[in-house]
Chains A and B, each alone.
Chain A
Amino acid sequence: MSLTIPDMNASSGLPACPSLAADFDLLTSNRRSLRRRDVLTIGSLTALGISLGPAFGCTMPVAAASADEPPPPHKPAKRCVLIWLDGGPSHLETLDPKPDASREVRGPLDSIQTGIPGISLSECLPGIATRLSRFAIIRSMTSPLGEHNFGTHYLLTGYRPTPVVEYPSFCSAAAFVRNAKSVLPSQIAVPDFRVGGGRFSGNGFLDTRFAPFSVGSDPAKPDFVVRNLTPPNGLDSVRLDRRRQFLNQLDEFRRRTDAVSPGRKTNVATTTGYLPGSSDSVEQAWELISSPQFRTALDLEQESPESRNRYGRRTVGQSCLLARRLIERGVPFITVNHHGWDTHTDLYTRLKEGFTGAKTPVGLIPALDQAVAALTDDLSLRGLLDETLIVIMGEFGRTPKLNTQGGRDHWPRVFSVALAGGGIRGGQIIGASDRNGESPDERPVTPGDLTATIYSRLGITPETTIHTSDGRPVRLAPADSSVISELT
């Protein structure tokens, strides 16, 4: 199948957009595969909440494989760590350097060779460079959305934002379809989930209990605690239990009174009573408070100083360390939110040095590199890397030419993401940007494709349909997306 169509652009002067053309061919191919597959429609959200049968969880994730398709090369990943580079990382200073381009494109950083001939990365990524056999890098991500909130919505949901529906992030949607009951939150954001300008909730149209749980404080700080996890003095377990019982009793009184309201008819078969806004999160909070597991995971003091230093003492390092501890205890999705990548000015200091004149660079990239290297080393050592998908990305790339303030502005037309673990075939580069890192040169990949791939790697069929509260069906990944098959 051809990925491009003839460029009829002779007179209009508009740039041809190969990515969009590719969209179309991919769309048709996807339609074909759709017919082959059973599109799984799972439960629906009713006005009052979720109505998923208990048996549902077992049938869900592996439904992708049907008789005429080869089995997937790797078992799906059980867990995911998303390292979100909030603000939009420069592809040219990180995963897609252009050492031969002009000075203003090349930028102030050098590049280094990696273990794989012909592939170079930023000088600030020695950790990833020496471990490149674990990483697949996509250098041909492309999107038209160069605004933080819009780009974030697109990258984290696979859908372009519309005023009609706020789509759920793949973090939340994965939690929703898996619907696993566990004491620990199904997704945790460290230190928070303030992404892309802060207007993106994460859960989209899904119930707020599928929003990422933010630990809400910085694990790099000595006084790191999760807010309100510990009961205050004087509130022992006897009293907590009593409060829980009292609360249930009050809600039950209300339910019983409502059920016998004048004129009300009750269908005994379908309902036990009516109570608007029953709170699932309160139930979960009770469990969490009494969970020693969670408290242990959060206690970074249990790590040796050497271990903590290996990740780097900055926020992203300690967040990745916390991510590892949570992964070890079975939390299925962790978002490490790395703030500060919106480098419109003085990118050299912010990306590399950290502060002017630093002897050892401690900027955004070195901090990230150290954290990612330690995280993949530790997961590998524990045999968890294969079942843990790691995704490193932001909402877009940055302008190919430096601006007058030594920074780069927003540039969604081409950018890079890195993936590791979770059955990803490492040591490869997928796609390429053109000479100056302006547009995809080959194999354009849309955020929809990436989302479909992430679902697929997590063992969730991207074609799975979920429903908004008013019953509108929504596919997890958009209809015109397809899984990046080379990744595995």
Chain B
Amino acid sequence: MNWLLLSLLLATSDAAARPVDFDTQIEPLLTRFGCNAGSCHGAAAGRGGFSLSLYGSVPERDHEAIAQQLEGRRINLSQPNESLLFLKATESIPHGGGPRFDIDDDAATLLLNWIRQGADRSDDRQLQSLQITPETIHLETLDETVRIAVQVTFSDGESRDVTAWSVLTPDDAATLDVRPNGEVSARRPGRHLLTARYLDRLVPVEVLLPLAPFMSLADQNAAPAADVEWPEGDNVVDREVRRRVRELRLPNSPDATPTTFLRRATLRLTGRLPTLDSLDAFPQACDVEVASSEQKLATQRIREARNKLVDELLASEAFEKFWTFQFVRLLRIRSQPQHEDSARTVYEWLRKQIAADRPLDQVARELITATGDTRQNGATAFYLAASDARQQAEFASELFLGVRLRCANCHDHPLDQWTQDDYHGLAAIFAPVRRGASVTVATSGTVIHPRTGEPAIPKLPGDRFLSLEEAGDAGLRVFAEWLTSRENGWFDRAVANRVWKLLMGRGLVEPVDDLRVSNAPTHPKLLDELAGRFAAGGRRLRPLIRLICQSRTFGRSSVPAHSDLHDEQFYSHALAVELEPEVLFDAVADVTGTAPTFPPTVAAGGRAVNLVARDVASDTLDVLGRCPVDAECSSASESTDTLPRALLLINGEFLNSQLAAPSGILSNLLAAGTSDRELVWQFYRRALSRNPASEELDFWTNQLQRADDERQRRAIAEDFLWALLTCREFMTCR
């Protein structure tokens, strides 16, 4: 007989055959009907005097609240249907939360059966596994409905379908229609998520509905197929991205032109605009003179040229400096007020790690176990970013694990596995750290667990409690080893996700510090693969970057293949991203050829990306949208389109003084008697990294020729240059 039928028979024939189990049946019921949600009795203070643990995480406490508190009035063993718990839940008497279920619902039956059987609790049965079928739902139309089934197995061997007792939550209620019986349909095309919860187990389900309804079916089918592979096959990035693109039937954009690729790769890897020399050399290297009829050969030539460029950029000093800048931001290095001297030390230390391409697990371990004078040991940076053990735990979880443990400060994380024990346990590991002019580790230190009022026991998040021997600096070493061990996937995934975002403009998981089951990556397998290869490659930064930048995906045009296509997460085209304020700041100086603005003591070469700390005072950078020192700045929707920024660009000294600079490139070109065409040509190449189209060249030459005298010519040239430095093409990496 079919197991499903069998279990149905068992369930309906006689509940007494298997006593109703509190921990594995009644708790899920309370969760399913919202009783122990954070907004109801699951709130830290409970509600209406009745307090349950959030989503039934502490069954012994819940059982006590139900069966013993209020002099046992919540349960009436002689007349089960007179139990306060039952009367309230069915709103037979007034209930602040309204009726949760009806007296003839299955839930009512289950609850009454449990009370009839004595309302007992035995802790001998646990949830062992949870499976959902299907794990991915492929829909073809908006009308289509698919039913998912949630199957659990308990430690006593029983297996049953608990779809009706699970909480099925769409990630976004506007995108999915999810009914309690497990029926799912989509309200919009795209990739959507829902999570199923039973007890503490959360499993994501992906729902896919092709995203390009504006295209004809023939176009939909043709578009991705027409995109041929690279001659020597795909790399893993292309394989996984293409799979998703095909699932959603998105049209791919073609390869970016050589100059676009050059500008993108140079900006993303070094934070600088391409040199004028490379503007000639790179397109030449991409060009196939031999036999343009050979499509395959042409593609291969482009691929080789791109790979060579990426390698050159990776080996450059500019790369070193720019990625040091990324780490300065990640580690929230500050220079004011107490860390003035240490900031330089930290910067130099970071720079050395990047220069040597030191394995990042070693870097992380050194950061976590660093002690000593902050002016001498740059690795103390990690402890300068927080002011106490709890902050340190939050920072550590976000930085190294890519997870937001902070939700578990006051209550167990409602959407993830993290508990208060994890949060305060990790804080307890950091409790012995003393911060000041030097970082030291005491033999002990405590953090009070808010639930027990006692010192929290040090704990590895989501793992084991530390032993008494693992106190003081031993605890930090244990944490560092655990964090970077091969079995612990968090670190590798967090790094892979961040690096992906820095190169591609969007994290596979957004925000990048919020990795969790219910926030699944857009490309789950790709994130796993990148993390795996990062680990296998010795956890060095450069091979990971090379892998991504050598993909065809990295090198696509940023113009969507269809004007109605708004694909912001599947990489059917490259994402155009605004230049970071620091990069923009330096790029402007490079185009205008003006002297560096920051003193060399805080920034090598005066460049903004070389600033030793995130908080070196600069009004201009702040107005341009610099991320505050203590913020993660990982949100997907960072925008710098603000009125103060616009006013700065128009009226501020920032651009105007550089345009007028007597020693700038404009002044030099004018003094040298450069022709109008040459002026236009020069600045197009400097600012936009490309030659002007003939239409553009004509237009601007024409404008310059309207000048009556040299003074006017300069004014027009300045205005032209101003427009170049504020136009969208200049301000984005596209």
Pair from one complex: yes
B560 pairs with A274, CB closer than 8 A: yes
A209 pairs with B69, CB closer than 8 A: no
Name the segment of A5-13, A121-129, A449-457 touching the other chain.
A5-13
Residue B48, interface by CB 8 Å:
yes
CA distance A246 to B719 in the complex (A): 8
A11 pairs with B69, CB closer than 8 A: yes
Which residues of A have CB within 8 Å of B97?
A: 24
A246-B719, A261-B559, A277-B641 given as contacts; is B693 within 8 A of A253 (CB)?
yes
Name the segment of A151-159, A262-270, A303-311 touching the other chain.
A262-270
Q: Kindly provide the distance from the CB of A145 to the nearest chain B CB, expressed in whole angstroms.
A: 10
Contacting residue for A263 out of B511, B561, B729, CB 8 A: B561
B48 pairs with A199, CB closer than 8 A: no
B563 pairs with A284, CB closer than 8 A: no
Which residues of A have CB within 8 Å of B653?
A: 232
A208 pairs with B696, CB closer than 8 A: no
A24-B97, A46-B566, A263-B254 given as contacts; is B728 within 8 A of A279 (CB)?
yes
CA distance A234 to B722 in the complex (A): 14
CA distance A254 to B381 in the complex (A): 44
A264 pairs with B646, CB closer than 8 A: no
CA distance A281 to B644 in the complex (A): 9
Residue A56, interface by CB 8 Å:
no
B563 pairs with A285, CB closer than 8 A: no
Which residues of B have CB within 8 Å of A205?
A: 637
Q: Kindly provide the distance from the CB of A126 to the nearest chain B CB, expressed in whole angstroms.
A: 38
How many A-B Cβ pairs are below 8 Å? 220
Residue A65, interface by CB 8 Å:
no
B558 pairs with A280, CB closer than 8 A: no
B640 pairs with A14, CB closer than 8 A: no
Within 8 A of A (CB), among B416-439: none
Which residues of A have CB within 8 Å of B560?
A: 264, 274
A264 pairs with B650, CB closer than 8 A: no
CA distance A269 to B387 in the complex (A): 57
Name the segment of B39-47, B282-290, B457-465, B608-616 touching the other chain.
B39-47
A15 pairs with B719, CB closer than 8 A: no
CA distance A12 to B653 in the complex (A): 65
Q: Kindly provide the distance from the CB of B91 to the nearest chain A CB, expressed in whole angstroms.
A: 11
Which residues of A have CB within 8 Å of B716?
A: 242
Residue B656, interface by CB 8 Å:
yes
A14 pairs with B46, CB closer than 8 A: yes
Residue A108, interface by CB 8 Å:
no
Which residues of A have CB within 8 Å of B645?
A: 281
B558 pairs with A228, CB closer than 8 A: no
Residue B404, interface by CB 8 Å:
yes
Which residues of A have CB within 8 Å of B723?
A: 243, 246-247, 249-250
B96 pairs with A5, CB closer than 8 A: yes
B564 pairs with A271, CB closer than 8 A: yes
Q: Kindly provide the distance from the CB of B339 to the nearest chain A CB, expressed in whole angstroms.
A: 19
Residue B631, interface by CB 8 Å:
yes
Residue B327, interface by CB 8 Å:
no
Residue A58, interface by CB 8 Å:
no
CA distance A235 to B649 in the complex (A): 13
Residue B407, interface by CB 8 Å:
yes
B727 pairs with A254, CB closer than 8 A: yes
Residue B452, interface by CB 8 Å:
no
Which residues of B have CB within 8 Å of A24?
A: 96-98
CA distance A434 to B636 in the complex (A): 45
CA distance A21 to B45 in the complex (A): 12
Q: Kindly provide the distance from the CB of A22 to the nearest chain B CB, expressed in whole angstroms.
A: 9
B650 pairs with A231, CB closer than 8 A: yes
Contacting residue for A14 out of B45, B173, B558, B578, CB 8 A: B45
Contacting residue for B578 out of A207, A257, A277, CB 8 A: A277
CA distance A211 to B623 in the complex (A): 13
CA distance A235 to B728 in the complex (A): 22
Residue A118, interface by CB 8 Å:
no
Residue B293, interface by CB 8 Å:
no
Which residues of B have CB within 8 Å of A348?
A: none
A24-B96, A279-B728, A285-B650 given as contacts; is B49 within 8 A of A14 (CB)?
yes
Q: Kindly provide the distance from the CB of B601 to the nearest chain A CB, expressed in whole angstroms.
A: 27
Q: Kindly provide the distance from the CB of A218 to the nearest chain B CB, expressed in whole angstroms.
A: 15
Contact with A along B234-275 (1 / 0, CB 8 A): 000000000000000001011000000000000000000000
A243 pairs with B719, CB closer than 8 A: yes
Contacting residue for B188 out of A232, A265, A271, A471, CB 8 A: A471
Which residues of A have CB within 8 Å of B558?
A: 276
B650 pairs with A281, CB closer than 8 A: no
B562 pairs with A267, CB closer than 8 A: yes
Which residues of B have CB within 8 Å of A48?
A: 566
Residue A282, interface by CB 8 Å:
yes
Which residues of A have CB within 8 Å of B695?
A: 253
Which residues of B have CB within 8 Å of A185?
A: 643
A250 pairs with B647, CB closer than 8 A: no
A228 pairs with B651, CB closer than 8 A: yes
Residue B70, interface by CB 8 Å:
yes
A12 pairs with B641, CB closer than 8 A: no
A470 pairs with B172, CB closer than 8 A: yes
Which residues of B have CB within 8 Å of A279?
A: 641, 646, 728
A254 pairs with B728, CB closer than 8 A: yes
B732 pairs with A276, CB closer than 8 A: yes
Which residues of A have CB within 8 Å of B496?
A: none
Closest chain A residue, CB of each to CB of B252: A263
CB-defined A-B contacts under 8 Å, sample of 25: A5-B96, A8-B48, A10-B70, A12-B51, A17-B47, A20-B47, A20-B48, A47-B566, A163-B514, A207-B641, A213-B643, A213-B644, A229-B651, A240-B650, A243-B650, A243-B719, A250-B723, A250-B727, A254-B728, A264-B563, A271-B564, A277-B731, A278-B728, A281-B646, A285-B646
Contacts A276-B732, A473-B173 aside, 18 further interface pairs with beta carbons under 8 A come to A24-B96, A47-B566, A185-B643, A207-B641, A227-B644, A227-B648, A230-B651, A231-B650, A247-B722, A247-B726, A247-B727, A266-B562, A271-B563, A281-B643, A281-B645, A282-B726, A285-B647, A289-B647
In order of increasing CB-CB distance, the 3 nearest A-B pairs are A9-B49, A246-B723, A285-B646
Residues of A within 8 A of B (CB): 2, 5-12, 14-17, 20-21, 24-25, 28, 46-48, 163, 166, 185, 198-199, 205, 207-209, 211, 213-214, 216, 227-232, 234-235, 239-240, 242-243, 246-247, 249-251, 253-254, 257-259, 261-267, 270-271, 273-282, 284-286, 288-289, 467, 469-473
